[in-house]
Amino acid sequence: MSKLDIRIAPEVVQAMLAHLRHDTTDLAAQDIHVPAEHFTSPERARAEIALMKTLPLTVAHVSELPEPGDFITREVLGTPLILSRQADGTVQAFLNMCSHRGGRVEAEDKGTRRVFTCRYHGWSFDAKGGGLRAVPFQSSFEQIERESHGLERFMTELRHGFVFVDFSNNTARSVADYLGPEVDAQLEPWQLEQSVIVIDRTFTLGINWKLLVDGAIDVLHSQFLHPGTVGELFETNIGVFRQYGRHGQLFTARKKLRTLLDSGQAADIGTRYMASNLVVYPNLSLIAAPEHIECWSVWPDPQDPGKATVNIRFYARKAVLTPEIEQRAQKSWAILHDAASKEDWPMEEWIQQNAALRPGRTFRYGRSEISAQHLHRQLALDLDH
């Protein structure tokens, strides 16, 4: 293994090698049938968004807010946020809404401020804590209680370099509790808190968010939809799936792993021979590549179930980043972008259109489509009481 390589757990490698030997793959107990309506129904979409707002969501990376006082603004599930880096290194999330008459107090995408000032009537708020700082022409108001006129705050936590926001302010559960030890263990070697963003692209697509996640954890399609590219590099319908509570991880084999197996040398296996896609429930998917990790954040459109926004980022570890690695990441992005925009997304758009045409039908997810099954099963558990 090279020093860049991240080792795959021997237990997973053994399971993969067994699958390669026997042409098998991890299987769910049964097929499931997902109503097409789940991709088109406004009620379903509203329920999913309401569910997301009770979970810790990754909304940013620390490298976007390197210094105290740095801020970024971002709209998450229709909610305008200001994320502000505090002197103690933590990040606070405020609702970008003035307590006077509801204006946005920050108009810029990013910058550095100690005070946020609403440009409507000049009320200002401390970046530290969000408290109301000053009110111009205060004497023309009745008594204003400062405590109840600060910026609204949401619970925020940093973990693995990600800024997690919990709109429900659930203090009973930390992000570590939510992720669980297995997800932590998978993310830890990537040193994401010490990583830099080398690719950062956002796309708005006419596709329900779940179809986008499904497409990224699909072990069954490479050789058919990507015959000349990804399908030549990866085995189709050979995968190892590990469930970590609500989260899940699909490991796939590069074809060169079979070559290694045939030569009898497969022992110490890392990301050069196997890729993995870790879905941090519900909408974050982390795809391990040899030298970087791809991170897809998939956001449902707050109004239209048939639309989603996906932000794709490649993170590279600062400690090992060289211009060559960055160049290879750019090349890898070009291949991924080609496959996604010419092959995956057009197919998912067709599915979206067909779902709208026949909402009474169901779509079948077979036993080997276990990782996508897990997402739909978990959503059903959380939503269908």
Give the binding site for ligand FES (CB under 6 A): 98, 100-103, 118, 120-123
Q: Are 54 and 170 in contact (CB under 8 A)?
A: yes
Min CB(154)–Fe ion separation in Å: 34
Q: Is the peptide bond before 302 cis (omega within 30 degrees of 0)?
A: no
| For Fe ion, the closer CB: 48 or 344 | 344
| For ligand FES, the closer CB: 26 or 106 | 106
| For ligand FES, the closer CB: 107 or 267 | 107
Q: Are 84 and 127 in contact (CB under 8 A)?
A: yes
Half-sphere exposure of 356 (CA within 13 A, CB side): 13
70 binds Fe ion, rule: CB under 5 A:
no
The type of residue at 197 is I
Which one of the spans 70-78, 90-98, 269-277, 337-345 is the region binding Fe ion (CB under 5 A)? 337-345
Min CB(117)–ligand FES separation in Å: 8
Min CB(138)–ligand FES separation in Å: 12
Q: What residue 123 binds from Fe ion, ligand FES, none (CB within 5 to 8 A, per partner kind)?
A: ligand FES
Each residue of 149-181: b (16+ CB within 10 Å) or e? ebbeebbbbbbbbbbbbbbeeeeeeebeebbee
**Mapping DSSP to helix (H, G, I), strand (E, B) and coil, where does residue 1 land?**
coil
| For ligand FES, the closer CB: 43 or 147 | 147
**Mapping DSSP to helix (H, G, I), strand (E, B) and coil, where does residue 236 land?**
strand
Min CB(113)–ligand FES separation in Å: 15
| For ligand FES, the closer CB: 66 or 102 | 102
DSSP code for 7: B
Q: What residue 344 binds from Fe ion, ligand FES, none (CB within 5 to 8 A, per partner kind)?
A: Fe ion
Q: Are 210 and 217 in contact (CB under 8 A)?
A: no
Rounded to a whole number of angstroms, the CA Rg of the chain reads: 23
Task: Using CB under 5 A, count the residues that bind Fe ion.
Answer: 1
Residues 337, 205: Cα–Cα separation, whole Å: 14
Q: Residue 203, exposed/middle/buried by CB under 10 A (0-12, 13-18, 19+)?
A: middle
Min CB(100)–ligand FES separation in Å: 3
Residue of the chain from 70, 344, 348, 369 that contacts Fe ion (CB under 5 A) = 344
Q: What residue 120 binds from Fe ion, ligand FES, none (CB within 5 to 8 A, per partner kind)?
A: ligand FES
Q: What residue 100 binds from Fe ion, ligand FES, none (CB within 5 to 8 A, per partner kind)?
A: ligand FES
How many residues appear in the chain? 385
| For Fe ion, the closer CB: 100 or 254 | 254
Min CB(60)–ligand FES separation in Å: 24
Min CB(136)–ligand FES separation in Å: 8
**Closest C-alpha among 34, 14, 15, 17 to residue 26:** 15
**Closest C-alpha among 163, 151, 158, 73 to residue 112:** 73
Q: Return residues touching Fe ion (CB under 5 A).
A: 344
